[in-house]
Structure 1
Amino acid sequence: MSTRALRGLSAAIVPLIVILAARAWLVEPFTVSSDSMEPAIDEGSVVLLYKLAAPSGLVRRGAVVAFADPEDGNTAIKRVIALEGQVVAIRDAELYVDGQHIREPSIDHSRIDATYFGPMTVPAGMIFVLGDNRGVSIDSRDYGAVPSAAVRGIVMIGLH
């Protein structure tokens, strides 16, 4: 093989390796297969998951995260509502964290009024997650808090 051919081959292979490495360790596209995060993320939307956020401690309250669903291990996407040690409650569809009412303008409370949950203290090493479309979402109200270690990434692109 000639030097020119080797250069051409390496020019094609190196970017491919960089793209595959970035997908494996940095970002990953993910197609949302549920309507549980509407209106923030529509079913069928493609979002980008920032994978380095999970181990680096960037998971914060309000972030939208992808994690291993405790029921089937598939990737689920939900909003982080509370972190370890915080107390979560829902009273007549209104969210409270540590006794403070949390304003959620994107949540249609009229579709979920008369909804009650908790109070529940989030255990150590866990996060409490809810879907924005609370009327249809299966989330921490159903399967409990999720281990922080189960977070696969933070949704960075695809929110509207």
Structure 2
Amino acid sequence: MYTTKKAAVVITLIVLFLFIIKSTGLFNWYNMVTHTMEPAIQQGSTVFISNIPEIKNDDIIIFEMENFPGPVVFRAVGKEGDTVEIKNGVVFLNGQKEDQEKTLGQYKVPKSKFLQIKDSDQVFHSYQSAHLTYIDTFMVAVNRNFANSLNLEELIYDKSVEEQEIANKYSENWNRDNFGPLVIPEGKYFVLGDNRGDSYDSRYFGLLDKNNIKGKVLFRT
């Protein structure tokens, strides 16, 4: 009997401890419901965060915003005072080119080649196995080095392509692949998904208020 009561007390204390650290934000966890941060975080993964570390550029963060159904995970690309620009799909921060090795590009793949590579762990897909865009062409998110080795054609919007949602948000004729330059104002962050061709991020919904940030991703499973 004593052992049972002792075990119950220990379990109660553990549950109480987890509740406290979760409610204060010292340590928390969420399930990744989208594919926008692939390949760094797979859809369906669990991310563990803390609100203790200072948020820096290149950190993966989780935040909440109005009109989003739940917490959102993106990469902080620019903070207040930084200048962000995207040229032909390449991100520049304060004039310096971003390392794109951690991001996915969106590529056109002929059906015959898609059937050969579709099971590779270097090929990432959206909600379906691929998006059929033409009769014999698929559109997939692919690791850039892998795509280059196969001479795949990346889908890049040139400056003539208009994206009305971006124009409405920033009052500029920008698109996802040709954007800015934009100076980030005080108290704001510019965030992007690593799956750059299929991510609804700061290019579309605008800048992130730092008060909406729940924490920095420490690790994921």
TM-score under structure 1 length normalisation? 0.86
CA contact (8 A) 1:36 1:136 kept: yes
**Per-residue Cα deviation, 1:26-83 (whole angstroms, up to 9, x for no partner):** 2112101111001111111111111333xxxx10000000011343362110000000
- State the superposition RMSD in angstroms: 2.1
**Per-residue Cα deviation, 1:4-37 (whole angstroms, up to 9, x for no partner):** 8865543332222112112222211210111100
Does the C-alpha gap of structure 1 residues 141 and 149 become closer, same or farther in structure 2, counting only changes over 3 Å? Answer: same
Structure 1: which 5+ runs fail to align? Answer: none
**Per-residue Cα deviation, 1:68-104 (whole angstroms, up to 9, x for no partner):** 1343362110000000011100000111011111122
Structure 1 or 2, whichever has the larger Rg, is 2
Shift of 1:106: 1.8
Partners of 1:103 and 1:3 in 2: CA distance: 59
Does the C-alpha gap of structure 1 residues 82 and 11 become closer, same or farther in structure 2, counting only changes over 3 Å? Answer: same
Structure 1 stretch displaced more, 43-52 or 109-118:
109-118
Letter of the structure 1 residue corresponding to residue 200 of structure 2:
I
CA contact (8 A) 2:193 2:200 kept: yes
Shift of 1:110: 5.5
TM-score under structure 2 length normalisation? 0.63
The corresponding residue for 2:189 is 127
After TM superposition, the structure 1 = structure 2 runs for residues 9-158 of structure 1, keeping only pairs within 5 Å, are 9-25=8-24, 26-53=26-53, 58-72=54-68, 74-109=70-105, 111=107, 112-114=155-157, 115-158=177-220
Partners of 2:198 and 2:32 in 1: CA distance: 15
CA contact (8 A) 1:79 1:132 kept: yes
Identity fraction in percent: 24
CA contact (8 A) 2:105 2:195 kept: no
**Per-residue Cα deviation, 1:109-135 (whole angstroms, up to 9, x for no partner):** 464533211111111100000000011
Partners of 1:7 and 1:94 in 2: CA distance: 59
Partners of 2:182 and 2:69 in 1: CA distance: 24
CA contact (8 A) 1:70 1:143 kept: no
